[in-house]
Structure 1
Amino acid sequence: MNYEATVAYLYDQLPMFSRVGQKAYKANLHNTIALCDYLGNPHQKIRTIHIAGTNGKGSTSHMLAAILQAAGFKTGLYTSPHIKDFRERIRINGQMIPQQQVVDFVSKTMDISSNIQPSFFELTVAMAFDYFAHEAVDIAVIETGLGGLLDSTNVITPILSIITNIGYDHQNILGDTLPEIATQKAGIIKPNIPVVIGKAIAETAPIFLQTATNNNAPISFATDHFNTIEAINNNGYLSVTIKQKNNLKNLNYKLGLTGLYQTENICTVLQAVEILNGIDFNIEEQHIQQGVRDVKLMTGLRGRWDVLSEQPLIIADVAHNKDGITQVLQQLQQQYPHKKVHFVLGFVKDKDVAGVLALFPKNGQYYFTNAHIPRALPANELATIANQAGLAGEVFDDVNIAIDTAKQRLNNDAIIMVCGSFFVIAELNIL
């Protein structure tokens, strides 16, 4: 098979959660273990950092990878989902896995795949491990796909585990309460392996503390060590001042990721760097400065408060649950309090769409759309749910037509905000 046929096989022949939802999710690690065993257990040949969380795990993964690159480490990065190109999921020093490597991997695993019928995610996780081991990376940053305990990535024994935060998402799989969801995420905590918690609340902190105690795992909460005291958008960067609590020192950074929610993620990253330096890494302040500033250039991350156009102002963000959307709406209000916002929205079927829509302002201009995947919520159904929440707008089958329509209606003090789904963002022509 050539590369195009190989990717078509991955998408069409293997169950893919992002396209079909829960029926692609397998609540065990059997297939991943079988694949890794078949490949000679490549995950045991590399050092890894494991990152879970409801929101922020992608940004945290990319910032940490960029810092490690800046410090001179050959750094693997596995994340999901991708936005434009399947190969975004698997990178070394920011460079996507070569097409031929994808073809060769699928070819050499065709027999076992026919036998055990892995999901898309199970096979791509094994592909990442195999590629990172083959290329002898110094360290690989591995982001979970969904949950933690039963996530396919959870076959690794990392040198550090990170859990960014806990919020409501994928309740149909992870549980209906925050403690239930936290229990699943805490499944990445391993015996004697340090774990950093980015943000814990009263409902979730006891879960992390107890799991860490049970595993004799040193645990630290980023908020006990670092606190952002100022954040200002300035010339395409987010300038942040962070108080380092143990020595009352202020640290100043320019973040290439300009969403205000990154003020939480940067504190998590800083605490992770402290732990890594306590192991055997030598990450200096200049490496942190470079990594957080140039993260988009170094790792290719897109879709996080992504300014796609200045005239008119068009922003895209992959926020898709209550916590993520709340942060986007807060930043719009804080940064552009007097501008009218034209919202281009699309969601997938298995989200709490009604609960998310209840957060949006009634005076916004709305354009309801959908991605072209089976899991997408049809735009007309989205419009019906939105109308019940008091939001009025029009229906578009293509996000690009929705944006073009919004552009025709803008005045000088208006913004187009695109959010609600990775998969709607993926179909943007201007990304």
Structure 2
Amino acid sequence: MNYKETIEYLYNVTPLFQNIGKDAYKEGLGNTIELDNYFNHPHKKFKTIHIAGTNGKGSCSHTIAAILQSAGYKTGLYTSPHLVDFSERIRVDGEPIEEEFVVKFVKDHKHFFEPLHPSFFELTTAMAFLYFAQKKVDVAVIEVGLGGRLDCTNIISPDLSIITNISLDHTQFLGTTLPAIAKEKAGIIKSNIPVIIGEYTDETKDVFSEKAKSVNAEIIFAQDNVLIENVTTNDNAHFVYQTKNIKDLYGELNGYYQIKNTNTILNAIKKLKDIGYKVNENNVRDGFKNVCELTGLMGRWQKLEEKPTIICDTGHNIGGMKYITEQLSNMKYDKLHIVIGMVNDKDINGVMSLLPPNAQYYFTQASVKRALPANEIKNIGNNHGLKGNAYSNVNEALEAAKASASPNDLIFVGGSTFIVSDLIVLYKNHK
């Protein structure tokens, strides 16, 4: 099999969450432990940093990896889902996993894993750990796939754990209340390993504190240790932070939610330095300024065109959409056009209730099996006073928005990671 055939094989032989949702979720670490034993525990051959949370864990993972790369550490980065190609999930110093490694991994080891019937994420986690070990990385930043306690990344013993925040998402797996979800996320807190909590609520703080106390883990609430003194925007609408230790810190990522992410990251870097990581001010500046170039990050309040301005963002739940709608409301434009689609296991009514009624809507669906049909999301949108037409795919919806928009208008594309994925694929194919 070549690379393309190998990826198709992985999609077909292992349950893929982005396509089929809950049926791809396997509770427990049984398969992960069997795979880890088979590969002789590769995750023990390098340092790790473990990052969980409902929103922001991708941005935090990429930025911390960028800072460590700038500091001279050979850095692995494991995130999900990918937007364009599978290889985005597994990177070393920003470079995607080599296609030849993926092909050889499947060819050499399918005799073992096929009878095991692992999920896609279980298998690719094992692949990532093996790749990082063979590449002899110094440290790998590992993003949790889903939850924490039973996530297959949770076999690692990291130098630092980070939980960005908690909001209601994946309730069918993690629980229907914030304390229940917090308990699952808190499962990554381990004995004598410090943990950074980015944001908390009155309902979740005690959950984190009790878990940390039970395993003698130092806990740092970034929300109570604000390192950012002031935030402004420059001429390019990017954030410039004044922090307690760094003045004029330029951030390449400029969604509103990045302000809280930045405080979490700064607290994490401070703790990493306390435990022996060699990171200086220039490394922090470089990581924040060049995170997309250093790590390949895409889809976070990303501007794709001007006149009209086209922006996309992967925020796909109530927690993320609150920041998106606030930022849209504070921008200058003549008219707002929103291309939106969602998958069928999200709180669609909750998201729709947050969206501005004065925009023109282009309801659509992503090219994954979990995508809510465009007509269904249109009907839900109409029930919330959102007016617009349905389009069978992102390309048609975007073209309709561009045809209706004037040069001073704004087109926002989002609602789902997979809508943004289809959009970015369109732009890459066009280029």
SS of the counterpart of 1:141?
strand
Q: Quick check: 1:87 aligned with 2:83? A: no
Matched residues in 2 for 1:206 and 1:240: separation? Answer: 33
Q: Quick check: 1:314 aligned with 2:310? A: yes
SS of the counterpart of 1:367?
strand
- Match in the other structure for 1:430: 427
SS of the counterpart of 2:427?
coil
1:33-182 → structure 2 map (5 Å cutoff): 33-182=33-182
CA contact (8 A) 2:307 2:408 kept: no
Give 1:255's match in structure 2, choosing from 251, 254, 278.
Answer: 251
| 1:424 to partner: Cα distance | 1.0
Matched residues in 2 for 1:136 and 1:250: separation? Answer: 32
- Match in the other structure for 2:403: 408
- Match in the other structure for 2:381: 386
Unaligned runs of 5+ in 2: none
Q: Quick check: 1:288 aligned with 2:315? A: no
CA contact (8 A) 2:316 2:415 kept: yes
Matched residues in 1 for 2:311 and 2:90: separation? Answer: 26
SS of the counterpart of 2:293?
helix
Give 2:364's match in structure 1, choosing from 360, 366, 369.
Answer: 369
Output the amino acid matched with 2:302. D
| Residue identity (%) | 48
- Match in the other structure for 1:217: 217
Matched residues in 1 for 2:202 and 2:344: separation? Answer: 30
CA contact (8 A) 2:307 2:406 kept: no
- Match in the other structure for 1:421: 416
- Match in the other structure for 2:193: 193
Matched residues in 1 for 2:187 and 2:108: separation? Answer: 31
CA contact (8 A) 2:47 2:139 kept: yes
**Worse overlay, 181-190 or 388-397:** 388-397
Output the amino acid matched with 2:2. N
| 1:237 to partner: Cα distance | 5.7
Matched residues in 2 for 1:59 and 1:124: separation? Answer: 20
| 1:229 to partner: Cα distance | 4.2
Matched residues in 1 for 2:304 and 2:168: separation? Answer: 28
Q: Quick check: 1:240 aligned with 2:235? A: no
SS of the counterpart of 1:196?
strand
CA contact (8 A) 2:227 2:267 kept: no
| 1:233 to partner: Cα distance | 3.3
Output the amino acid matched with 1:354. N
| 1:227 to partner: Cα distance | 4.4
Output the amino acid matched with 1:65. A
Matched residues in 1 for 2:281 and 2:214: separation? Answer: 34
Give 1:265's match in structure 2, choosing from 261, 264, 267.
Answer: 261
SS of the counterpart of 1:157?
coil
CA contact (8 A) 1:231 1:238 kept: no
- Match in the other structure for 1:278: 274
Matched residues in 1 for 2:156 and 2:235: separation? Answer: 40
In angstroms, what is the RMSD of aligned CA positions?
A: 1.2
Output the amino acid matched with 2:150. L
Matched residues in 2 for 1:204 and 1:131: separation? Answer: 36
Deviation string, structure 1 residues 52-81 (Cα, Å, up to 9, x no partner): 000000000000000000000000000000
Q: Quick check: 1:396 aligned with 2:391? A: yes
- Match in the other structure for 2:342: 347
Question: How many residues were matched structurally?
Answer: 426
- Deviating beyond 2 angstroms after TM superposition, the runs of 4 or more aligned structure 1 residues are 223-244, 249-252
Output the amino acid matched with 1:328. I
Unaligned runs of 5+ in 1: none
Deviation string, structure 1 residues 284-307 (Cα, Å, up to 9, x no partner): 001000000000000000000000
Deviation string, structure 1 residues 240-281 (Cα, Å, up to 9, x no partner): 33443xxxx564311111112111111111111111111111
| 1:414 to partner: Cα distance | 1.2
Matched residues in 2 for 1:125 and 1:64: separation? Answer: 20
**Worse overlay, 5-14 or 229-238:** 229-238
